[in-house]
Amino acid sequence: MTQTPAQLAEDLRALKQQRKAGELDLATYYQHLLRMVSQLADALTEEVGHLSQEEIAHQVPLMLLFLEEQIRKFGERT
């Protein structure tokens, strides 16, 4: 089951609080953030059929920027 935006926002808030409180080391925090990216991608994928072409057109540049930057940095590390 896909999480709602409110659930994702609450999970992110809690995760940030755990990191701030020193409950998570940086690597674990990063792993949790990556899992959240995956959960968000699942939710956004399910939502596509309900979006207008205009809404999708606004999202595409953000997705491209994120993907290109992460792929570039990943390539630099390997």
pTM for this entry: 0.87
Is-contact 39 8, C-beta < 8 A?
yes
The Cα 46–Cα 54 span in angstroms is: 17
Reported as a pLDDT band with limits 50, 70 and 90, residue 2 is: confident
Is-contact 11 3, C-beta < 8 A?
yes
Question: Would you kindly state where each structural domain of the chain is located, as residue ranges?
Answer: 5-77
Q: Please write the tens of the pLDDT for every residue from 17-43.
A: 999 999 999 999 999 999 999 999 999
Residues 6+ apart with CB under 8 A from 42: 2
3 φ, ψ (degrees, to nearest 5): -80, 155
Q: Please write the tens of the pLDDT for every residue from 6-15.
A: 999 999 999 9
